[in-house]
Structure 1
Amino acid sequence: MIKFLIFLAITLSNLNLAQAADADVTPRNRASTLGPEQVALVINDADPSSVRAGDYYRIARGIPAENVVHVSIKNAPNRLSLAEFTSLQAEIEAQLNAKEQVILLAWTAPYAVECNSITSALTLGFDAKQCADTCGVGKSSPYFDSVSKKPFDDLRIRPAMLLPNDSFMRTKALIDRGVQSDAGVFRATAYYLTTSDTNRNSRAPFFPPTGLNIPRAGLAIINMRSDKLVGARDVMIYQTGLANVDGLETLGFLPGALADHLTSFGGDLAGKGQMSALRWLDAGATASYGTVSEPCNYWQKFPNPTVLLKWYVNGATAIEAYWKSVAWPAQGVFVGEPLAAPYGRL
């Protein structure tokens, strides 16, 4: 069974890589038409910083007033119990409308529901089986590598993302980068690093090869063996595998950049043992991803590089490209500015 899954994964990867390389990124083939009217913006009224972050995002992105959802989560714990989440979920769903295709939570915490991420629990429902064995096989997402442009209409799910609010300076800069990405970014590079940490290189077979160029997107590929990237000023995608990533302060992330590292607790946003996904946003990325509980190193629990690349260069927004790239997302939290789409106008 394991050999079959590996074979299937490699076959899928090669197919997606070919599609990414040959992609026709013209307006008629754009992967997304996602806009502000399709975003449900959830604000925690019990947290002034969530209110401030939500208000800034609402204005910056022109989110309709009827799309703003108000909840009250006192003390904003990092993790919710299933009972607490069920109550919150009902409160959110009672305020949604049929046009909304995705959900943005204007806070850093809560980011987990027991062993699940809150973004996955809201999108696909709480997965109790995963919590019985966090290192076990995950439940497949119907949105993985999907052609759907309207996930709620087509699949009855609304992909969710967190807009971190623990630092308004970071939040504002993050939102501004997302908005700036709409103008398009050219002469960028996607960097893929195979590191000395063998256990965290499980998705390295899916890294696109150096030399692959996507001319209409102006994106070059560099696939290298190194524990860190230093001095690059044209970063659009950066994917690696380490518990802690060095050299981020030397990099220049372009508006709309996506970056993540395969490690056990990158999604434990308040954790201290491994690098939080928030550090990517601090460094200048516009969206990231990490797991909130021990997933073991299944590549399916992390963003698949070829799938992520394919959808992003074809015009998908950050939330769509990231969500479509994770096959088993129960433990993974998505963070960032969801509407960033640097290739959306090609």
Structure 2
Amino acid sequence: MKTITSLLLAAFVASAAEVRLERVPEDGVQPQIVTTSDGTRHLVYLKGDPRGCNVRHAIKKPGAAEWSTPRTVNSTPDSAVAAGTIRGAQIAVGKDDSLHIVWNGIGDHKRHIPSPLYYTRSLGSGGFEPQRDLRADTQALDGGASVAASAKGEVFVVWHGAQAGSQPGEINRRVYVLKSTDNGQTFAAPKIANADDPGVCACCSLKTFVAPTGELLTLYRAARTMSQRDIVLMTSRDGGESFQHRDVGPWAINACPMSSASVISAGTKTRAAWEAEGKVFTSLLDATSDALAVSNDKARHPSLAINSKGETLVSWSIGTGWQKGGQLGWLVLDASGRPTATHGTQPGVPVWGFTATYADGENFVILY
């Protein structure tokens, strides 16, 4: 893996892109952004008590200066979890610009009540359906789930947990994939996606994504042994019927880093970002691209955006932890993936918070 330091950035190519910073509406945390075909940006975030909060949704139409008045997504009040930073809402755009959202619910381990896995989708009226628990009979939901969707009406909900009755331990955790072919109206039974490569880091979230090529891509942190926490790229080329695995981000650490990842596509290229060795790395998800470290130490929770010139903004949190806020950092890569001189850091990431990014023409916005 290639590495850089901030001291070298000035020697790299210049970028004309401007980076603007914005606070999440309502002082919310854990923002996630998608864009529908008409250019409208859809933002979800968490608001309220970290151990029992709400998923909020706001939109920004092209040319608008402000986000719309937020509305609550969850039909059961206070049923989301912000504590830990990796259990919040993830959002995807599906058929006919439908929105699909998942988040971790609240369990009770003392009473042996498993944490639910909630899902909802948008209605034509602009609201959302009542939330559904899609966990089935899987147990030990911990790190956050993810959702991906395609224009064909496929929806994939992906999470990690344990089979009912299995022994404790991360080696017994599996990645589960739940597929819908009718745009989220119904789902088939969950399928184990890593039966031949078991072990998942319990308190790390994963990220799933339907690439422009139609492949289902999922990044998750493995736990094949106590001291091995590599980032794995799991690929399905047949709509979730079979899966292939490839390590992309090695990390030898005997701890759960409570990490997250980000994936984005432009044209036929798909780029990912993840945490390893205390830094944020990024790479194109092909067999030949090297991973590049874009941050210094204590960086985590990356986010990606691509502007109209093909440049990529990578943003991340710095120094955040359990009940601890921190800074945000960012770096712009040129259209060929080389670091530019457009970079920076700023205080302000709140407790349980991280950044989300989006492009505004040639420029970028970071929400934190």
Question: Could you tell me the TM-score, scaled by structure 2's length?
Answer: 0.27
Q: Please identify which structure carries the higher helix content.
A: 1
Structure with more strand by fraction:
2
The TM-score normalised by the length of structure 1 is 0.28
Greater RCO, CA 8 A, separation 6+: 1
